[in-house]
Amino acid sequence: MKRIATSAFLIILFTVFAIFLYFQNTTNSVLKIINPTLIQVDINNNGILDDDETICIDSTEAFMPGLEPEKPIFITDDVNKKDLIALGFITLNYSKDILSDKQVKLIFSGKKSHECRYADINIDGQSYSEKLYEAGLAAKNGKFNYNKFTNRLKQAQNLKLVIYNNKSNKYHKLDCKYGILSSDYIIMPSKELPKDAAPCKFCHMKNQSAVKDKTQPVKIPPTISKGTIKLILTDYTKILKPDRKCTSDVCKALLNEINNSNQTIDIAIYGWDMIPDLYNALTAAHNRGVKIRIVFDRSYNNDDYYKETLTILKVADKYNSDYRQNNSSFTNQLMHNKFFIFDNSKVFTGSMNISSTGTSGFNSNAVVIIDSKDAAKLYTYEFEQMLSGKFHSEKQKPNIPNSFTVGKDKLSIYFSPYDKTFNYIVPLINKAQKYIYIPAFLITHNELSNALINAKNRGVDVKIIIDANSTSTRNTKHAILRQNNVPLKTENYAGRMHSKSIIIDDKYLITGSMNFSNSGENKNDENCLIIESPEIARFYRNYFIYLWSKIPDKWLKYNAKAEGYDSIGSCSDGIDNDFDGYIDNEDTGCLKVNN
């Protein structure tokens, strides 16, 4: 019995020791930097922010961002409020630089409050608190590194920070009372201001050109029409809150097609938000005898992303969905198309969902309207397969041409998963000689990312904008692309970068519903267009350059957070931008921190 008891005791002791070693050596991912001393860390390593995962950095007095900064006790009176704001700006960016998306070790002190657990963070074998002190951005035991602080103060003063209001497109001095009237203001260096930003006349009356020149960017229209092919883009930098009105160019274009239909409307949509003008137009079309058929996406547990999808079925003569039974081979595959076929002769397609965030222009989307019976025939074949209940790998490739001339332009149409669309996209990347510009929701496709790196290495001008949420997507290639010197920005606006487009050499435009992912190519129901048109490619190129100039260069290095003061308007749009269950002021990212 003694031997058994001794063995059991040794096993328990070994287990406890193993657990101790595990927690000594385990690391955790940094999820969000709220401010330099309030950090959210994935303590249980489940990939999401849970309760009790906010860390207060113990015994650290750092410069804090904000328009009402508290003066640390170790700072003399000759440092003014503007200097403190600038020092807080630098400190927050320094914290993001060394902590964002990093693996860290936590050293808990045992203290706890209703807001956080107190700890220090070990990063790359060094204390985070010590790093702040050595950088001249925090005190240690009531003292600070004077030489480093002096250098930081000069750096702060040289930033020439301003308050920028995106809605009014005006900038203000840091002490201007009009600068903080908007809920979506942001503090930024003057050199990062949009070129068309105007000075506040109240705080820049004496010298309106002191902070920014008056160079105006090229005005970018939202639409180009070649007669048979029309491209409509949505400028989400101007629409900071979604609505259900149909006042945008892209919604009015869809409304016009519905109102002008005479015989049939076939609709393949991922989901449906109730947009009254569109619903009323479909109802009127149905009442005048237009036959309406609908295909839509349906999750296995009826927890559809768009909760109002079933309401549109009231106007349908026939409908079907890819209802994915649990544990079936299609459980994680989507009917992700967004296309309409009118009277078997015209197609409306692209990246825009029929939702308040899509039709209002809140998200950045690209839509193509094709006046072509050849195109309508291809889309109708695809549609009728799904209407009959064949989705995803059950579909068959049609025995009809998928490339043809529309007007003076060449159009190629591909459907996932049977067309293996990247077999046609990657060769165009490999042949590019001048530029490749990509506004896209995400990039996770291996072959595409490798082709882009190779293009950059042979001297092609490659530039990419992806959605802020996509830096946390599984298999995202943004870090690999940056490591290989491909310029890639995370967008920093409230809406999503929802386009799925590639522009090449003033010759090709690739666009559609397909994300640049393995699922987009090989699993989901998608459509993708390759348009060979110099005029359309140049139009989209100019629009991309416009968007690129609107996003500060800091997001070439940092990853903007989708909800918080990284992303303009995201704390006042009524949307859960980062899918964490919290909206606007309820989200910790929307605590009033200015960066």
DSSP per-residue letters across 444-470: --HHHHHHHHHHHHTT-EEEEEE-GGG
Q: Which burial class, exposed, middle or buried, applies to 450 when counting CB atoms under 10 A from its CB (0-12, 13-18, 19+)?
A: middle
207-221, 414-428, 471-485, 576-590: the lowest-pLDDT one: 207-221
Average pLDDT over residues 466-491: 95
Q: What is the pLDDT of residues 157-201, one digit of tens each?
A: 888 888 888 767 788 888 787 777 766 678 888 888 877 788 888
Q: Give the Cα-Cα-Cα angle 148, 552, 425 (nearest 5 degrees).
A: 130
How many C-beta atoms lie closer than 10 Å to residue 299's C-beta? Answer: 16
CA 493, 495, 499, 500 torsion: positive or negative? positive
Which range in 19-33, 417-431, 573-587 is most confidently predicted, on average pLDDT? 417-431
For residue 215, name the pLDDT band (cuts at 50, 70, 90): very low
Token duo for residue 276: 């009254």
List helix spans (H) across 81-170.
Answer: 81-99, 128-134, 146-158
Is the pLDDT confidence value at 488 over 60?
yes
Is the pLDDT confidence value at 580 over 60?
yes
Task: Determine the pLDDT at residue 74.
Answer: 61
Contact between 318 and 340 (Cβ < 8 Å): no
Q: What is the pLDDT of residues 548-564, one digit of tens each?
A: 999 989 899 989 989 98
Task: Determine the pLDDT at residue 22.
Answer: 45
Contact between 322 and 335 (Cβ < 8 Å): yes
Is the pLDDT confidence value at 320 over 60?
yes
> Helix (H, G, I), strand (E, B), or coil: what is residue 434?
coil
Is the pLDDT confidence value at 481 over 80?
yes
Instruction: Of 305, 250, 300, 299, give the one whose Cα is nearest residue 273.
Output: 305
Residues in CB range of 4: below 8 A, 6 or more apart: none
Q: What is the pLDDT of residues 104-153, one digit of tens each?
A: 998 888 888 777 888 888 888 888 988 888 888 887 776 777 788 888 88
Question: 197-225 burial by CB neighbour count: b if 16+ within 10 A, else e?
Answer: bebbeebbeeeeeebbeeeeeeeeebebe
Instruction: Of 387, 403, 407, 259, give the one whose Cα is nearest residue 321.
Output: 387
- Reported residue count of the chain is 595
80-94, 238-252, 459-473: the lowest-pLDDT one: 80-94
Task: Determine the pLDDT at residue 53.
Answer: 87
Domains located in the chain, CATH noted: 24-159 (2.40.50.90), 161-216 (no CATH), 223-556 (3.30.870.10)
Q: What is the pLDDT of residues 230-244, one digit of tens each?
A: 999 999 999 999 999
Residues in CB range of 546: below 8 A, 6 or more apart: 217, 218, 220
List helix spans (H) across 388-445.
Answer: 422-431
Task: Determine the pLDDT at residue 10.
Answer: 54
Q: What is the pLDDT of residues 421-455, one digit of tens each?
A: 999 999 999 999 999 999 999 999 999 999 999 99
Is the pLDDT confidence value at 251 over 90?
yes
Q: Which helix (H) or strand (E) holds 249?
A: helix 249-260
- Cis status, amide bond into 401, omega within 30 of 0: no
- 484/142: higher pLDDT: 484
Share of the chain above pLDDT 90, in %: 52
Q: What is the pLDDT of residues 287-314, one digit of tens each?
A: 999 999 999 998 766 667 888 999 999 9
DSSP per-residue letters across 72-95: PTTS-TTS-HHHHHHHHHHHHHHH
Task: Determine the pLDDT at residue 112.
Answer: 82
Is the pLDDT confidence value at 592 over 60?
no
206-215, 221-230, 350-359: the lowest-pLDDT one: 206-215
For residue 14, name the pLDDT band (cuts at 50, 70, 90): low
Contact between 53 and 31 (Cβ < 8 Å): yes
Contact between 500 and 443 (Cβ < 8 Å): no
Is the pLDDT confidence value at 18 over 60?
no
Task: Determine the pLDDT at residue 15.
Answer: 54
What torsion do the CA atoms of 29, 33, 39, 44 make, to the nearest 10 degrees?
A: -30
Phi, psi of 198 (to 5 degrees): -110, 145
Contact between 95 and 63 (Cβ < 8 Å): no
Is the pLDDT confidence value at 332 over 90?
no
